[in-house]
Chains A and B, each alone.
Chain A
């Protein structure tokens, strides 16, 4: 009767499905409520946010579906509805609501979602610490020098206007790069999801998985560096 999926359902999901109702001790087949006594069940803190919200571990998520699920569960767990229930149920409703909120906030934003997936899939960020993008760093440090020069230059001086023009064109180029990186990230999202959907366990699939994760890590890191220097440029030269 144990239907073994080839992929998509992690051991954790099965574990949750098999756990026992804290109240009536029957096996809980419902996800969030006991099927027999209808008591609310604690959502395990071990669960990842995707599973918690009933979504597969994919990077493309339908925002409306996610929101609908969040509202549905928010209503189901909301502490207001548990005021007249037992202390145990009140505690569970509080814990579930908190977890649900964090899960939703994380998955709602594509960048946070990707960062979270990287944490899940590759352990902590440091484990796939890539070699630092030296060229980008040099560029950023050079730009910072130019920014300092510009700040020090007297208003309406010729140097000031030359530097301003230079910084503005740098800004445009960096903003273009941000857009390119955005597109590249979207592309990686699609690749990741397709790989998961295929569910292959070959060494080739593993290599592909690691490549996608590494490129995603690089993309997200560089994104932060570029974002910081761009916001500096914007606040200084507008």
Chain B
């Protein structure tokens, strides 16, 4: 099975690789894993005024998992929280031309986005309570 050109491109030149400090203000962290294949994905967003101004990822896994999370961070940047919620794994599958056996990589990326958004929301709600 050959990887699509887009997967190879993301794999060779991953966008936004790295991490933010977890406790930094406005940062949401999503940490997910796929027990079936052992892939691990960490995806972080930095939010200002309801908009994702930056995103970073670190992925331990196959090329498709790296490409999926790399693409996800690209898409996240500039989106509002609400828009980001709408990113679906099927969008990633389509963009990267993932074969059926690699669809779970895109699912993992969607899970990571959801987890990061939830973590940000939790922190934001907590800050709101503190402020009151």
Question: A interface vs B, CB < 8 Å?
Answer: 125, 132-134, 137-138, 140-141, 144-145, 217, 220-221, 224-225, 227-229
* CB atoms of A132 and B33 under 8 A apart: yes
A144 closest partner in B (C-beta): B60
A229 to B39, CA, bound (A): 10
Question: B interface vs A, CB < 8 Å?
Answer: 31-33, 35-40, 42, 58, 60-61
User: Which of the listed residues A217, A220, A221 has the most CB atoms from chain B within 10 Å of its own CB?
Assistant: A221
Given contacts A132-B31, A137-B42, A141-B42, are A224 and B60 in contact (CB under 8 A)? no
Q: Which residues of B contact A144 (CB under 8 A)?
A: 58, 60
Given contacts A137-B40, A140-B40, are A228 and B35 in contact (CB under 8 A)? no
* CB atoms of B33 and A141 under 8 A apart: no
* CB atoms of A134 and B37 under 8 A apart: no
User: How close is A232's CB to chain B, nearest CB, in angstroms?
Assistant: 8
A140 to B36, CA, bound (A): 16
Q: Which residues of A contact B58 (CB under 8 A)?
A: 141, 144-145
User: How close is B43's CB to chain A, nearest CB, in angstroms?
Assistant: 11
* CB atoms of B31 and A228 under 8 A apart: no
CB < 8 Å neighbour of B38 from A134, A141, A217, A224: A224
* CB atoms of A132 and B38 under 8 A apart: no
A220 to B33, CA, bound (A): 13
Given contacts A225-B40, A229-B60, are A137 and B35 in contact (CB under 8 A)? no
User: Which of the listed residues B31, B32, B35, B38 has the most CB atoms from chain A within 10 Å of its own CB?
Assistant: B35
Q: Which residues of B contact A225 (CB under 8 A)?
A: 33, 35, 38, 40
User: How close is B90's CB to chain A, nearest CB, in angstroms?
Assistant: 18
Q: Which residues of B contact A140 (CB under 8 A)?
A: 40, 60
A178 to B120, CA, bound (A): 34
User: How close is B65's CB to chain A, nearest CB, in angstroms?
Assistant: 11
Known: A133-B33, A228-B61. 10 other contacts (CB 8 A): A137-B31, A137-B33, A141-B42, A141-B58, A217-B35, A224-B35, A224-B37, A227-B38, A228-B39, A228-B60
* CB atoms of A141 and B40 under 8 A apart: yes
B57 closest partner in A (C-beta): A141
Q: Which residues of B contact A133 (CB under 8 A)?
A: 33
Given contacts A140-B60, A141-B60, A229-B60, are A125 and B38 in contact (CB under 8 A)? no
Q: Which residues of A contact B40 (CB under 8 A)?
A: 137, 140-141, 225
Q: Which residues of A contact B60 (CB under 8 A)?
A: 140-141, 144, 228-229
A231 to B55, CA, bound (A): 29
User: Can you pick out 20 interface pairs between chain A and chain B where the beta carbons lie within 8 Å of each other?
Assistant: A125-B35, A132-B31, A137-B33, A137-B40, A137-B42, A141-B42, A141-B58, A144-B58, A144-B60, A217-B35, A220-B35, A221-B33, A221-B35, A224-B36, A224-B38, A225-B33, A225-B38, A228-B38, A228-B61, A229-B60
A217 to B37, CA, bound (A): 14
A225 to B33, CA, bound (A): 8
A228 closest partner in B (C-beta): B38
User: How close is A181's CB to chain B, nearest CB, in angstroms?
Assistant: 13
Q: Which residues of A contact B39 (CB under 8 A)?
A: 228
